[in-house]
Amino acid sequence: MWVASSSEGLLTPTAVALGKFDGVHLGHQRVIQPVLHPCDRLSVASSPQSKENQQQTNQEYIYSTVVTFDPHPQEFFTGQPRTLLTPLDEKVQQLRSLGVEQLVLLPFDKELSALTPEEFVQKILVQQLQCQRISIGQDFCFGEKRSGTAKDLQLIAAKHNIPVTIVPLQTYTGDSPTQSSCVSTNPTQDARISTSLIRQTLEQGDIENANLLLGRPYTLFGVVVQGQQLGRTIGFPTANLELPKEKFLPRQGVYAVRVFTLSETSNAASSESLGVMNIGNRPTVNGTYSSAEVHLFDWSGDLYGKKLAIELVKFLRPEQKFPSLEALKTQIQLDCVVAKEVLSAEWEQ
């Protein structure tokens, strides 16, 4: 996938899905779907039309493009860094796997935020992107002071003969997952799928629902770095992950997880390992910073410098301060038993 962060080097003309798309969740995927080439669409049965096919029939090739803002508009307006469900690398990977050909990062600055809706369409969509078709979610707002609505975009774009698909807000329609005792915000059948709902469910440790709303497991990607080298002394070595600083972290505590080692060059995943993960400050050893660390079951070797993908499956318990390392070790042994049960039950489903 081609990533462009300025008006130069764009692949044009384009079919554009517009939005912030943090998380690339099930609702976002529905907004992106109309701009994908038929063979990449998730549920549209249609004959594939490759770039070569289109060129042979003398049609101009249209690049399926996601246009988003960088930094996140909220970060620009508040001046505060914002954590993200999908930092840029992860977003690129998710969009690529959907079949998007180009990601355009519009620098969200004073100039862009001051464009009127008409100017935004004219300068960005028509002139720069040579946009042929647009897809947006029903709640999309754009232009100065968020004054333009989805309907406005449809009306303005019509003047340029650009059709706009307005995708209705997606509600959660899956089977109601098992309710965990720590959850107060359980998405009901009519809960709207949104980035903020997913952030809330993760904050509560409700991984099952977060994963359903995302359409995939919430995953932490990071490189293994050195810790205090205490894990090995209690029989539970833990690979400590360096995460992107803007990655949104779920509730602190212990999780059952699936782990994949990624190839440095292609990001291809190795076979799966199972394990337990702790996210927190490690009060038992007077930890001074937050860490995310994983112990792999029935595995030994060297993981330093390796890139891991850790899929969260279930929150098991909050982090605690234990009176001794021995007491912590006994609890981790129990955590492993529970995590193995959870993960094997998952496997059988």
Ligand X SMILES: Cc1cc2nc3c(=O)[nH]c(=O)nc-3n(C[C@H](O)[C@H](O)[C@H](O)COP(=O)(O)O)c2cc1C
Ligand Y SMILES: Nc1ncnc2c1ncn2[C@@H]1O[C@H](COP(=O)(O)OP(=O)(O)O)[C@@H](O)[C@H]1O
Binding residues for ligand X, rule: CB under 6 A, are 227-231, 236, 238, 240, 254, 276, 278, 282-285, 293, 295, 319-322, 328, 332, 335
CB of 302 to ligand Y, least distance (A): 5
CB of 240 to ligand X, least distance (A): 5
CB of 290 to ligand X, least distance (A): 11
Alpha carbons 135 and 157: distance in angstroms, whole number: 11
Site for ligand Y in 303-342 (CB under 6 A): 303-304
Sign of CA dihedral 46, 52, 58, 64: positive
Q: Does residue 287 belong to the site contacting ligand Y (CB under 6 A)?
A: no
Instruction: Indicate the residue among 137 and 237 with the shorter CB distance to ligand X.
Output: 237
Q: Does residue 299 belong to the site contacting ligand Y (CB under 6 A)?
A: yes
Instruction: Indicate the residue among 288 and 300 with the shorter CB distance to ligand Y.
Output: 300
Instruction: Give me the residue label for tokens 């109309």.
Output: 34
Instruction: Indicate the residue among 126 and 234 with the shorter CB distance to ligand Y.
Output: 234
Which residues touch 127 (CB under 8 Å, ≥6 apart)?
none
- Interface residue with ligand Y, options 217, 231, 244, 253 (CB under 6 A): 231
Contact indicator for 61, 14 with CB cutoff of 8 Å: no
Strand order in the sheet with 63-70: 2-4, 102-107, 63-70, 14-18, 131-137, 164-167
Give the residues across from 219 on adjacent strands: 311
302 binds, among ligand Y, ligand X, none (CB under 5 to 8 A by kind): ligand Y
Q: Does residue 278 belong to the site contacting ligand Y (CB under 6 A)?
A: no
121 binds, among ligand X, ligand Y, none (CB under 5 to 8 A by kind): none
Omega of the bond leading into 163 within 30 degrees of 0 (cis): no
276 phi and psi angles, rounded to 5 deg: -120, 145
Alpha carbons 325 and 227: distance in angstroms, whole number: 16
Q: Does residue 237 belong to the site contacting ligand Y (CB under 6 A)?
A: yes
Instruction: Indicate the residue among 53 and 228 with the shorter CB distance to ligand Y.
Output: 228
3-state class of 165 per DSSP?
strand
- Interface residue with ligand Y, options 33, 68, 128, 240 (CB under 6 A): 240
Q: In the chain, helix, strand, coil percent, each to 5?
A: 30, 25, 45
- Interface residue with ligand Y, options 296, 308, 332, 343 (CB under 6 A): 296
Instruction: Indicate the residue among 113 and 284 with the shorter CB distance to ligand Y.
Output: 284
Contacting range for ligand Y; rule: CB under 6 A; set: 23-31, 68-76, 164-172, 229-237: 229-237
Q: Does residue 228 belong to the site contacting ligand Y (CB under 6 A)?
A: yes
86 binds, among ligand X, ligand Y, none (CB under 5 to 8 A by kind): none
Contact indicator for 25, 193 with CB cutoff of 8 Å: yes
Amino acid present at 229: Q
- Interface residue with ligand Y, options 64, 211, 238, 291 (CB under 6 A): 238
From the CB of residue 281, how many other CB atoms can be counted at a distance below 10 Å?
A: 16
3-state class of 66 per DSSP?
strand
CB of 259 to ligand Y, least distance (A): 9
Contact indicator for 251, 183 with CB cutoff of 8 Å: no
Amino acid present at 15: A
Q: Does residue 227 belong to the site contacting ligand Y (CB under 6 A)?
A: yes
Omega of the bond leading into 237 within 30 degrees of 0 (cis): no
296 binds, among ligand X, ligand Y, none (CB under 5 to 8 A by kind): ligand Y
Instruction: Give me the residue label for tokens 């509560």.
Output: 204
Instruction: Indicate the residue among 106 and 224 with the shorter CB distance to ligand Y.
Output: 224
Instruction: Indicate the residue among 1 and 336 with the shorter CB distance to ligand Y.
Output: 336
How, if at all, do strands 63-70 and 102-107 pair?
parallel
Q: Does residue 77 belong to the site contacting ligand Y (CB under 6 A)?
A: no
- C-alpha distances (whole Å) from 35 to each of 2, 67, 101, 147, 326 are 15, 11, 10, 25, 57
Q: Which residues sit at the interface with ligand Y, rule CB under 6 A?
A: 224, 226-229, 231-232, 237-240, 295-296, 299-304
